[in-house]
Chain A
Amino acid sequence: AQSVTQPDIHITVSEGASLELRCNYSYGATPYLFWYVQSPGQGLQLLLKYFSGDTLVQGIKGFEAEFKRSQSSFNLRKPSVHWSDAAEYFCAVGRAGNKLTFGGGTRVLVKP
């Protein structure tokens, strides 16, 4: 069965500091991996996705993620956080046409 683990429930970072959110997955085949962001009271917005090829993928809003097959990880990073990045972030795994399996999410708080 597929599963996604996001070990950090909450992360607090200072504005301008770097951010890294961890994601570990379990999937029987080569997965498609996604990061979504959810602001309070909103739906999910896709930040970036990985299907194959270059293991470092660039997304919107200055985010990037690195796929490491040996570690079954797909960590999300941002070099310099802005106050508007405060939100909840979800890692998800799936295949074409299939359901998405989400992690429990990481809530990011940004200090001024």
Chain B
Amino acid sequence: DAGVTQSPTHLIKTRGQQVTLRCSPKSGHDTVSWYQQALGQGPQFIFQYYEEEERQRGNFPDRFSGHQFPNYSSELNVNALLLGDSALYLCASSLDGRWSYEQYFGPGTRLTVT
């Protein structure tokens, strides 16, 4: 059973550019959440997608946007990159519903903005 997968593993971008990160959820899961983990800090919630719509959003600017596809995979897009966007971006999947309290995390995408 494949777990959560993310691509690419590493990415280097220049300030002002745009980036797209991808996530495939664990088999059977229909909800995807994205987290940003800056160096030396805990992960921070960006947003969550369910049924192809953004269901919850953390305290992140509109430069951060996402998408969920009919097969439940998801993309995270960041526009106008800033140096402060350098971080590990983690995707987590879960099964929606009252008891969907377990989130399974992928290995992350390390984004470096120069």
Contact = CB atoms under 8 A, between A and B. Distances in A.
Interface of A: 4, 32, 36, 41-46, 49, 51, 90, 92, 94-105
Secondary structure type dominating chain B contacts: loop
Contact of B107 (A43, A46, A101): A43
Nearest to B95: A97
A42 B98 contact: no
Contacts of A42: 107-108
Contact of A96 (B58, B92, B100, B107): B100
Secondary structure type dominating chain A contacts: loop
Interface residues of B, number: 29
23 contacts: A4-B42, A42-B107, A42-B108, A43-B105, A45-B105, A49-B101, A49-B102, A90-B43, A95-B101, A96-B97, A96-B98, A96-B99, A96-B101, A97-B94, A99-B33, A99-B48, A100-B35, A100-B92, A101-B45, A102-B35, A102-B44, A104-B42, A105-B42
Contacts of A44: 43, 90, 92, 105
Residue among A42, A49, A96 having the largest count of chain B Cβ atoms under 10 Å: A96
B43 A97 contact: no
Interface of B: 4, 31, 33, 35, 40-45, 48, 56, 58, 90, 92, 94, 96-108
A43 B93 CA distance: 13
A46 B41 contact: no
A103 B41 CA distance: 8
Contacts of A41: 107
Contacts of B31: 97
A43 B94 CA distance: 15
Contacts of B4: 43
A101 B42 CA distance: 9
Contact of B106 (A43, A94, A99): A43
A95 B41 CA distance: 22
Contact of A43 (B90, B98, B99): B90
Closest 3 CB pairs of A and B: A102-B42, A99-B45, A44-B105
